Structure formats: C-alpha cells, structure tokens
Amino acid sequence: MTVVFLLILVSLVVALGFLAAFLWAVRSGQYDDDYTPSVRILFDEKQTEND
C-alpha cells in the first residue's frame, strides 16, 4: 500500500500550503475586519459602458 503514504504525503503538502495561506491571511490583517467586507460587496460602481 505504498500509494497510501504517497497520498498522505501529497495531501499533507496541500494542507500545509493552506495552513501557510491561513497564517498569512491572519498576520497580514485580512481578518481584522470581519464584518464590513460582507456589506461592501453589495455596492457596485455604476456601469458606464458595456464591452
């Protein structure tokens, strides 16, 4: 069942990658404001032209 360990390894690498992303997000202040982003997405700037 060598493949089990291969899969665990690959999955772990992916998981660690996401962990790094999570730490980056927290440290860089992405989550300092956990309310207004949800409101801001509701405002779209007026469209002047279609292309």
Partner 1 sequence: MAQVEKFHYDNAIVRNFAYATMIWGLVGMLVGLIIALQLIFPQLNLGIAEVSYGRLRPLHTNAVIFAFVGNGIFTGVYYSLQRLLKARMFSKVLSNFHFWGWQAIIVAAALTLPLGLTSLHEYAELEWPIDLAIALVWIGFGINMFGTILKRRENHLYVAIWFYIATWVTVTVLHVGNNLELPVSAFKSYPVFAGVQDALIQWWYGHNAVAFFLTTPYLGLMYYFLPKAANRPVYSYKLSIIHFWALIFIYIWAGPHHLLYTSLPDWAQSLGTVFSVMLIAPSWGGMLNGLLTLRGAWDRVRQDPILKFMVVAVTAYGMSTFEGPMLSLKSVNAISHFTDWTIGHVHIGALGWNGFLTFGMLYWLIPRLFSTKLYSEKLANTHFWIGTLGIMFYAIPLYWAGWTQSLMWKEFTPDGFLKYGNFLETVTQILPMYAMRVVGGTYIWPEISLWYTIWSRRSAPARSLATKQPKRLHWLARMACTKANTGTAGWKEGLFKCFYLRP
Which residues contribute to the site for partner 1 (CB under 8 A)? Answer: 1-4, 7, 10-11, 14-15, 17-19, 21-22, 25, 30-31, 33-35, 37-39, 41-42, 44, 47, 49-51
Our CB check for partner 1 shows the closer of 1 and 27 to be 1
**10 vs 5: CA distance, rounded Å:** 9
Residue 18 region by backbone torsions, left for phi larger than 0, else alpha for psi between -120 and 50, else beta: alpha
Our CB check for partner 1 shows the closer of 27 and 51 to be 51
What's 51's DSSP letter?
A: -
Q: Which phi and psi (to 5°) does residue 50 adopt? A: -95, 145
Cβ of residue 22: shortest distance to partner 1, in angstroms?
Answer: 6
